[in-house]
Amino acid sequence: MDILEEIVAHKRLEVERFKQELSEREIHRRVESLLDFSVASMSKALTSSSTGIIAEFKRRSPSKGWIKEEGQADIIPLSYQQNGASALSILADEKYFGGSDEFISIARRSGVHIPVLYKNFVIDEYQLFQARLCGASAVLLIAADLTLSECRSLLHTAHDLGLEVLLEMHSKEELEYADLEPDMCGINNRNLGSFVTDVENSFRMAELLPKEAVKVSESGISNPDTVRALRAAGFRGFLIGETFMKTPDPGKALTDFIREIEL
């Protein structure tokens, strides 16, 4: 198995365990009480921003191990918000990324009010309810681990729950997923099978996406010049995690990065 296949196989087992701990009926009941309250729109936040930075709270990665094991969800996400992030991405996968649904809840309680992306490998409707319950604004759906039919169904359910969808594609072969008209079209510069990263992937794919799509470039972005070039190519969102998380003060690193973009 490649890394993505391994993660998805484990995720299926994990979701079944979650269902045993909190039944589908019960999580549906809990989420139903939240549906009268809307969440902040991530797509609008990106299109109205001059920078479009989606700052990611990412403590670990499968390829690099721990990036910031001591990173706290009540400090770094709020610091990102205070230092100019347009939106946040918070990892919810525990085994491979050191994340947790609870990190989103903690970030919200700390004062985070900007849009938050539920960053996980979503393969089951149950996870959409988990995302809404913990306080996410949007969810990531990954074309590489979903059939077109599965993706369509999950996108529909996400919208029913008041969540936006960032639909991630990597290759030309996955472009048909953009026809599902997600709220945001993401291009992952990292191959999820090999974890090799190439930012040029976003430039190659940009012109192939629908012109009206809210385009988001993900992974491997470490230079403000790259963000400026991607904006010129039509991107409005830039998901950046390791560049900030590997520094002593991720919030300050974000401030410095934004300052360079705006020069």
HEC readout, 110-125: HCCCCCEEEECCCCCH
SS3 91: strand
As annotated, the active-site residues are 56, 58, 119, 168, 188, 218-219
Give CA–CA dist 99/167, Å, rounded.
20
Judge whether 63 and 69 are in contact, CB under 8 Å.
Answer: no
Closest CA to 247 of 84, 112, 79: 79
From CA 242, how far away is CA 239, in angstroms rounded? 10
Which whole-number Å values give the CA distances from 223 to 57, 243, 244, in the listed order?
A: 18, 9, 11
Three-class DSSP labels, 15-52:
HHHHHHHCCHHHHHHHHHCCCCCCCCCHHHHHHCCCCC
How many angstroms separate the Cα of 142 from the Cα of each of 71, 177, 229?
26, 10, 25
Alpha helices in 83-217 (DSSP H): 101-110, 125-134, 148-160, 200-206
Q: Which helix (H) or strand (E) is 81 found in, with range?
A: helix 76-82
